[in-house]
A and B are shown apart, each in its own frame.
Chain A
């Protein structure tokens, strides 16, 4: 009982538990598999949003190119799945059997060297994290060691997102071009398109999301988290307190990239393809909006923010497809102007005080119920003694 009380007094533990109940029990029960799979897809963006909470919310580093890391993670896994789907038996009708179909259409006659290692599942899992993180490391070192920051950094990341899209679309023989890498079928011979697989990936996705949330929570609560906040406010003060500020920025940027990459890989598994439309400027900015709506200082808040905005997007664009972009823009402006701390900010300023005023009432009621209980056994004892 005491443990339970300690638990309910720890606000982080409670919000983790509530989110777990929603994602593990409520949504799978009320939603059919098609909708649940959509939720799973939305949750892959939440990984990106959590990364943004660390880099942007905590450290003040706004990246408008997180789609690049999401995409790299997703592409790495898609390459493995594509190779598995392109076995010589499956591709017997191609002029070069055994290579992915889009390569055959582009007159490639052999698998490019950088595709070769993706025959190995172990290497692929490594690459899903390593490729985006190394890329983020290069960008981070190039930018932060030269003290490029703020708006300039945001613009450069946006340019990188644009370049990446152009590169992928332009090199369609190697990347699948504008269609991306499609028609993914099996993972180690297990069909990933069945309902059973979709349920499995949904729960795997939720489990990984919680792992990422725990890591993010740990970073937020460590001294490193407070140094990031300090850096956001007074970079010079931190620097002249003996810290190499750029290393901290590079680290948090790489962590955000790693989170995004896991999200990208889970996207590929659940949606069954990866394409440049999840890499470029628009998806990257959308991901920032998810974080802003959820509340850029709250790792749990952005998960709800991502779910809510995506649910709105799906509902809205089913009826008014051409209006969605305007609605999205209006939403972003609205959030920034009216409630800059997003949903999480609304929760802490309105809902939490309400709970706070209910709690003493509950306690009072509990006390009223407990008192006669305590008297109870005592009176019984007295009764037997007489």
Chain B
């Protein structure tokens, strides 16, 4: 076990989830290092999103283990997993359209998360400064007061990334962050991700190969719930099995 000696942020071992006998994820093992950007690619139905669901607790594992900084996540409550430092962005931009950009970010600010804590929560300068800081990073610094439903699709994606950033997670999981974005927006997003990942690990599910090449440190190719290949982008691109099931199309 060479792996055990290294300092992994996230280690997944023998993870299996079965939906009525269909194994969406089948005996999967995956290790993400600290400050690594790992991208998961693979054909539709390979189980990529399910892996993210399993980590954040949206889906419960049938067997196997997910350890984050030494804590077992498979039986933890969703809110507790978030408090451990795991942030998750959904595939479609999940933002609160009836609230303003400021209020969207404020809800993700990691204070006042209990019922009475939120009743007594005060919007002080520390909160305002932090929200301003994050909104500048996600290119929305001058749109804090606009209702979120007026944002463009790309801006909504950035807003949700910002909502994760403000939580300052140690593991950031992004499900297709550039889907539906224009070329210019993709470039901006790649820059954004490279900037914000300096002090955290990132797990990205993505289809856009150009984008993957721009950001990935290492790539994991999944197929039918299993790891097909793993390594640098050059390595997996040259892998015959990968070409056959995914890239060759």
Complex Cα spacing A239 to B107, Å: 11
The smallest C-beta distance from B157 to any residue of chain A, in angstroms, reads 13
A-contacting 9-mer, from B14-22, B113-121, B133-141, B209-217? B113-121
Complex Cα spacing A207 to B247, Å: 71
Q: Is A248 a contact of B115 with CB atoms below 8 Å?
A: yes
A131 in the interface (beta carbon within 8 A): no
Other than the known A234-B94, A237-B160, A240-B78, what 19 A-B pairs have Cβ atoms closer than 8 Å? A222-B118, A222-B120, A223-B112, A223-B119, A224-B119, A227-B107, A230-B99, A230-B107, A233-B97, A236-B58, A237-B96, A240-B56, A240-B58, A240-B82, A240-B87, A241-B82, A241-B167, A244-B114, A248-B115
Q: Is B110 a contact of A251 with CB atoms below 8 Å?
A: no
Q: Which residues does chain A contribute within 8 Å of B163, judged by CB atoms?
A: 237, 241
Q: What number of B residues sit within 8 Å (CB to CB) of A?
A: 34
Q: Given A234-B95, A239-B79, does the pair A223, B107 have CB atoms closer than 8 Å?
A: yes
A247 in the interface (beta carbon within 8 A): yes
Scan B94-135; emit 1 where CB is below 8 A from any A CB, else 0: 111111000110111010111100111101000000000000
| Chain A residue at minimal CB-CB distance from B127 | A223
The smallest C-beta distance from A217 to any residue of chain B, in angstroms, reads 13
Q: Is A242 a contact of B90 with CB atoms below 8 Å?
A: no
Q: Given A229-B98, A233-B97, A248-B115, does the pair A223, B106 have CB atoms closer than 8 Å?
A: yes
B88 in the interface (beta carbon within 8 A): yes
Q: Is B99 a contact of A244 with CB atoms below 8 Å?
A: no
The majority secondary structure among interface residues of chain A is: helix
**A residues at B contact (CB < 8 Å):** 219, 222-224, 226-227, 229-230, 232-234, 236-245, 247-248, 251
| Chain B residue at minimal CB-CB distance from A241 | B108
B232 in the interface (beta carbon within 8 A): no
8 A–B contact pairs at CB < 8 A?
A: A219-B119, A224-B115, A233-B97, A234-B95, A236-B58, A237-B95, A240-B58, A243-B113
Complex Cα spacing A224 to B107, Å: 9
Q: Is A242 a contact of B82 with CB atoms below 8 Å?
A: yes
B146 in the interface (beta carbon within 8 A): no
Highest count of chain B CB atoms <10 Å: which of A239, A243, A251: A243
| Chain B residue at minimal CB-CB distance from A222 | B119
Q: Is A243 a contact of B90 with CB atoms below 8 Å?
A: no
B235 in the interface (beta carbon within 8 A): no
Q: Is A242 a contact of B114 with CB atoms below 8 Å?
A: no
B77 in the interface (beta carbon within 8 A): yes
Complex Cα spacing A222 to B107, Å: 11
Scan B32-43; emit 1 where CB is below 8 A from any A CB, else 0: 000000000000
Q: Is B114 a contact of A229 with CB atoms below 8 Å?
A: no
Complex Cα spacing A242 to B168, Å: 12
| Chain B residue at minimal CB-CB distance from A232 | B98
Q: Is A230 a contact of B96 with CB atoms below 8 Å?
A: yes
Q: Which residues does chain B contribute within 8 Å of A240, judged by CB atoms?
A: 56, 58, 78, 82, 87-88, 90
Point out the residue from B78, B88, B118 that lies within 8 Å of A223, measured CB to CB: B118
